[in-house]
Amino acid sequence: MRLNEIPNGTMDLINIQCETRENLILRINNLFKSWGYKKVITPTIEYYKVINSGFESFKEQDIYKAFDNNGRILVLRPDMTIPIARLVGSKFKGVKKPLRLSYTSNIFRVNKELLGQKNESTHCGIELIGEWVKGSDLEVIILAIESLKLFNFKKFKIEITHVGIFNELCIKAELDLKTKNKLASLIEEKKIKELEDLLADLTIDVDYKDIIKKLPWLVGGKEILEFNEKLELNSLKYLKTLAKTIEELGYEEFICFNLGRLPRINYYTGLIFSAYVEGYGDFVLNGGRYDNLLKVYGEANNAVGFSINIDALAEINTLNLLMDSKEKIILEYKEENFIDVIKEADHLRSMGKIVEIKLKRSNEYGS
């Protein structure tokens, strides 16, 4: 290892990269604040038991671990939702709800090498806790849309689903937990052949087989929510109602639906959504409802939130247009007018100018 190497999945940021991220974070945090969200900061390190209790799907090899002086396992936080849940169960226990909390934090995950994924990334996010379900779902979706509208993307979409649709289907089909989890994994990963083979082996009503088989393909506008008029699912009805309200609020152009998205079905309890920007291959924002998580940490309540990947936004080339196009002013000084130049620079900076001062070099000093 060379002394100027850095760990896999990390990166140094310089000049315009730093300015771009600062610009993004400032705009997003100002928006969150205008909606009544208050900033919180949690430790970068957490106890492994705290994280594992809320996120059993995390594999040990995917988390950075260490030991404290007492032999307890510590981790670099791989997520911000669990630290927020822990915080609410301690600092905000018994506090009148709803709570509107926001954060800007780095998270750490050990990704496989050569996939181009970052092991350290910066996120801005919000959590809305203890509010009416439909009202809070609407609020976070609209706030997610408004967050991305800050950056004048040519086109972006918030892709929405509801984990209850799949859960209700499994209940009606009387599927056991193991089969349910396997089906969810195949649908999420779009492994169509394996999904069809598994469904063929199941002794369930053919109508349920056909519906489950369709889920990976149900992507599009609100019309896909009408894929089966006879199907009586509360979650599907809720999603239709939500879609109608979003349309009435004037945000229909920014949303679509994907009923084949089933990430961590034992973690999310309702709405799930992600945001995609045209021309970028991965989501830049994701969130959802997790009503069962807070009770693990001592404060049972419903909750919904989202996280924006600042690094992903910064990678999108069009964001360079966001930077202020201020020209830098350079003031040169000599020893005899040093104080006057400093005063002039301070005056210009007070007017919002970017000013650098430097020694005026004559031939005897070289240039």
Residue 291 neighbours by CB under 8 Å, 6+ apart? 269, 270, 301, 302, 303
- Residue extent(s) of CATH 3.30.930.10 domains in the chain: 1-155+278-325, 157-263
The pLDDT mean for the chain works out to: 90
Please state, in angstroms and rounded to a whole number, the distance separating the CA atoms of residues 240 and 252.
Answer: 12
- Is 25 a residue whose pLDDT tops 60? yes
For residue 121, give the 3-state DSSP assignment.
strand
46 labelled binding-site residue: no
CATH class as words, domain 1-155+278-325: alpha beta
Q: Contact, 16 vs 63, CB < 8 A?
A: no
The pLDDT assigned to 366 comes to: 47
12 labelled binding-site residue: no
| Interior/surface letters 82-111, b for 16+ CB within 10 angstroms, e for the rest | bbbbbbbbeebeeeebbbbbbbbbebbbbe
pLDDT in tens, 224-241: 999 887 788 999 999 999
- Is 317 a residue whose pLDDT tops 70? no
Phi-psi region of 264 (alpha: psi -120 to 50; beta: other; left: phi over 0): left
Tell me the Cα Rg of the chain: 25
Q: Contact, 98 vs 131, CB < 8 A?
A: yes
pLDDT in tens, 74-113: 999 999 999 999 999 999 998 999 999 999 999 999 987 7
pLDDT band at 364 (very low <50, low <70, confident <90, very high): very low
Looking at domain 157-263, its CATH architecture is 2-Layer Sandwich (3.30)
Residue 320's identity, in one-letter code, is: N
267 labelled binding-site residue: yes
79 labelled binding-site residue: yes
